[in-house]
Amino acid sequence: AAAAPAAAQNPPPPRLPQVQPTYTFMGWGAPRRRPRGVKAAIKQFESEQSAVKVQWLHTPDRYAEKFLASVAANTPPDTAFIGSGDFRTYTRDGLLLDITNNLKADPLLGKAGYFLEPQEESRCTYKGAWYGIGSCWVAPHLYYNADMFKKANIEPPSSDPDKIWGWDQFVEIAKQMTIDGNGKNAADSGFDANNIVQWGVSWPTWSLPMHTAILSNGGDWIDPTSGQLVLDKPEATDAIQAVFDLMLKHKVMPSDDVVKQLGISVAQMLETGKLAMAVDGSWALSWLYKIKATLGTASLPKMKTPATTLQAHLHSALKATKSPDAAWQWVRFLSTPYYQTLFCKIGLWLPSQTALMSEEGQKQWITKGVHPEGYDVILNKFVGKYGKVLYMPPGYPKTDKVLVPAFDRVRIGEATAADAMKPAVEEANKILAEEGK
């Protein structure tokens, strides 16, 4: 008799249910806003395909520290938020996955004109290769309490950069909106700067809002060609001094200590009539739209030219990921209109995809009750035309140890910006030169 086939002699083992691999996604964000959107995105992504399952590793505090700790422990996430200030450092150190070929081969993301260019490629590449994709754009602009301007019979600032205030006019308006306990404003004789009950403006002095002032004055933070700091140039130091003088000289801006003593946030000051104007990032709209006062938004005042700073975290795959292909699929999904629209609708983000910046595309995310009238003008004529990316070279985080104390010296009036920046920039550039080797 013929021998039985080998397959019959050795039947295959029973098929066991396969465990679907899970790929991790690490990121920060306020507990009430970001996780909800990310979880909705994961649900949508997993409904569209069955090969990749995503686990959200929400890390709301000490993010960079915890991210680097996971890398050191050889347990990095597969994909993650990467801060724009850390991106080139992590890329230099070999932590991030090169996604250039994936991106260029993609029929949607690789299409010419999909992103706002050249800004997108500039922020996402290192030595010509792509190591992430920007989450969105965010940019500082002006918020104001429209009720206070109406009461003072003063025309509020404009959304249109062609109609914005010059710096001197901005300071004068801020003086008129700064009131002491006797009802006098900061431009009046006898104004009591030690008894201010209403402030004209808040202009944060960390890198992003300060960079906007420097840009407006014709300067920059980093020379994009050399990768060296240029904060010691007159265009930069004059702008830095002008911002700090809102507090030190003109008395129209509360110090951090004053805000702390009041025991309320800048948003609460704006809502309760203790503050007329606040410079903040576009992301702040996601909570400022809820204030009870009538909220207005506007383009920033200019020194020499209209300007704002474009920045945002990136979404990257880690080089150590279990599956580069799976990690790419998730990073790609995060760069589709669906995901970006989620956060644009609530006022947290501005789009980086040209389709969402078009007149038709804006209808998908500009939301009545969230985005004040004229917000489209800020996007189209101010951010889109005058926004410039702040690039941080490899090793930049290490310069904080010399730059932060220098800014603090100016803040407390111990030194002028010109005097404080010169030695600090010299020392910081030595750090960058060493880090760039």
Rounded CA gap, 102 and 100, in Å? 6
Question: Could you tell me which residues come within 8 angstroms of residue 172 by beta carbon, excluding any fewer than 6 positions away?
Answer: 187
Question: Residue 364 — very low, low, confident or very high, per pLDDT cuts 50/70/90?
Answer: very high
Please write the tens of the pLDDT for every residue from 281-322.
999 999 999 999 999 999 999 999 999 999 999 999 999 999
Residues 172, 267, single domain; the answer is yes
CA 423 to the chain's CA centroid: 28
Residues 202, 107, single domain; the answer is no
Residues 276, 322, single domain; the answer is no
Provide the residue range defining the domain that includes 185.
Answer: 140-308+392-435
Residues 236, 193, single domain; the answer is yes
Domain count, the chain: 2
Rounded CA gap, 109 and 309, in Å? 24
Instruction: Report how far apart, in Å, the C-alpha atoms of 65 and of each of 61, 70, 365, 376, 423 are.
Output: 9, 9, 34, 37, 29
Residues 129, 192, single domain; the answer is no
Residues 416, 350, single domain; the answer is no
In this model, does residue 338 exceed pLDDT 50?
yes
Rounded CA gap, 352 and 340, in Å? 8
8 A C-beta contact, residue 417 and residue 232: no
Q: What percent of the chain has pLDDT over 70?
A: 94
Backbone angles phi and psi of 201, in degrees to 5:
-155, 155
Question: Residue 391 — very low, low, confident or very high, per pLDDT cuts 50/70/90?
Answer: confident
pTM of the predicted model as reported, rounded to 2 decimal places: 0.91
Q: Classify residue 205: in a domain, yes or no.
A: yes
8 A C-beta contact, residue 224 and residue 429: no
Task: Give me the residue label for tokens 């008395």.
Answer: 251
| pLDDT at residue number 2 | 44
| pLDDT at residue number 154 | 98
Please write the tens of the pLDDT for every residue from 7-48.
444 555 544 445 567 999 999 987 666 678 899 999 999 999
Residues 41, 123, single domain; the answer is yes
Q: Classify residue 382: in a domain, yes or no.
A: no
- Residues 354-370 have a mean pLDDT of 95
Q: Classify residue 337: in a domain, yes or no.
A: yes
| pLDDT at residue number 272 | 96
Q: Classify residue 378: in a domain, yes or no.
A: no
| pLDDT at residue number 425 | 98
Rounded CA gap, 225 and 342, in Å? 35
